[in-house]
Amino acid sequence: MSAPSIAVAGTGAFAGALVRALARHPEPLALHVLSSDGRRAQDLGELARDHAALGGAPTTCEAHHADPRQADGIERLLHRVRPTALVVCTSEHSPAERTTDPSAWTALLADAGFGLTLPLQAAHAVRYARACERAAPDTVLVNACFPDAVNPVLAALGAPVMCGLGNVATLAAALCTRLDVDDPRRLHLLAHHAHLHTPPSAAQEARGWLDGTATDVAAQLEAVRHRGRAQLNEVGAVAGAAPLAALVGAGPEYHGHLPGPAGLPGGYPVTVGHRRVELRLPAGLSHREAIQWNTDRGRLDGTAVGSDGTVRLEAPALAALRRHWSDAPDLWTPSDLPQVHDTLRRLRTRLRSLPAPASPAPSPPPSLQGATP
């Protein structure tokens, strides 16, 4: 019997850390790296094979050129490879742009919130989902691109997305370390992508339970949030190896946390087995309450995404967007995704050509305000 196979679409920092972690998995796995940049795919594939050899793991890894914008090519590749699971780690927006290439576009996102990028995060995931439906219908789809908000949209479009990676899993892994929790089943955490940052008020903070008892996790999360995004990405990616192994039948049942399970908004405690993901909520918390809580916290990213995939922009986000797109809709459904995506891409192209607005000069400390030199 051939080993279970996992295809990872993307070669960025998150995808790279995930592939390296999977390469060291102790049970047989066949990895496939997919990228529109064939050279990067080859490099990551070779690195994965090095990690497998160093760890004495029975993993194999192949690299493939794959451009999600070329549907026929993707379908032929997926039909040939037939991966047990496909993990989408590639999108049309990189959070790193705000520091590497600041512009009027990144300034808009700073004002409107990360949720505005949802159509750009979803585009490749939708293309891969459609390719799987046509060419590899037995493949399990996992989306790691803003899954807290994108996965409900995918599910509403009929794409059977199983779950996401990162975000709540990143925070939960770091919490287990800080709380000295050796059995992840002891921890239950509700957290949205937005909780990678400090919320405006304590009432909007993530919710945690330890050994079935509600516990304040704010102080521990603050320490985690001070880490650089690269470090958080690495933790989230490595944390994704165990649930993926469980999902494809190459590892034991996983008890931990994942975002976007079964297309739900936000992140939850879960149990993962072969081709299944189930919520693992603390006693006294209903599925409906947990889903509503995550829907509400999604507004911290500037958008509210319902379990039916409907996207509503919060008032500040809409006001920021309408400074550049005067009749931007305040609400759109999954069927509106292509139009919203295309308009947002054109807007991004225009705003990228403009410099970021100058930041206002910081006010002097109160003790110096009004002082004369």
The reported pLDDT for the residue numbered 248 is 98
For CA atoms 184, 161, 38, 246, the dihedral sign is: positive
- The residue-averaged pLDDT of 112-130 equals 97
Give the pLDDT mean for 254-261. 98
Domains of the chain, residue spans? 5-163, 168-300
With a cut of 60, say whether residue 290 has pLDDT above it: yes
270: nearest Cα among 193, 142, 172: 172
Q: What local confidence, expressed as pLDDT, does residue 35 receive?
A: 97
Q: What is the pLDDT of residues 264-288, one digit of tens each?
A: 999 999 999 999 999 999 999 999 9
Mean pLDDT of the chain, nearest integer: 94
pLDDT given for residue 228 in this prediction = 85
The residues pairing with 141 across neighbouring beta strands, listed in sequence order, are 86, 161
Q: What is the pLDDT of residue 372?
A: 28
CA angle 340, 346, 350 (to 5 degrees): 140
> Looking at the predicted structure, is the pLDDT value of residue 364 above 50?
no
CATH of region 5-163:
3.40.50.720
Q: What is the CA radius of gyration of the chain?
A: 21
Residue-wise pLDDT tens digits, 98-111:
889 999 999 999 99
Coil, strand or helix at 306: coil
Angle, helices 229-239 vs 13-23, to 10°: value is 40
pLDDT band at 373 (very low <50, low <70, confident <90, very high): very low
Q: What is the pLDDT of residues 35-50, one digit of tens each?
A: 999 999 999 999 999 9
Instruction: Please state the rounded mean pLDDT for residues 173-196.
Output: 96
78 pLDDT above the threshold of 60: yes
Q: What is the DSSP string of 265-296?
A: SSEEEEEEETTEEEE-PPTT--HHHHHHHHHH
**pLDDT for position 195:** 97
Lowest mean pLDDT among 20-29, 232-241, 320-329, 357-366: 357-366
pLDDT tens per residue, range 298-309: 999 999 998 889
User: pTM of the entire structure?
Assistant: 0.93
**Ramachandran category for residue 9: left, alpha or beta (phi over 0 → left; psi -120 to 50 → alpha):** beta
Residue 95: per-residue pLDDT: 87
Whole-number pLDDT of residue 367: 38
268 exposed, middle or buried (CB, 10 Å; 0-12, 13-18, 19+)?
Answer: buried
Question: Pairing state of beta strands 85-88 and 60-65?
Answer: unpaired
Residue 363 has pLDDT above 90, yes or no: no
pLDDT at 125 over 90: yes
Q: Residue 118 carries which side chain, given as an amino acid letter?
A: L
- The model's confidence at residue 130, banded by pLDDT at 50, 70 and 90, is very high
Confidence category of residue 365, pLDDT binned at 50, 70, 90: very low
CA dist., res. 15 & res. 8, Å (int): 7
Q: How far is CA 21 from CA 66, 81, 178, 201, 279, in A?
A: 22, 21, 22, 36, 25
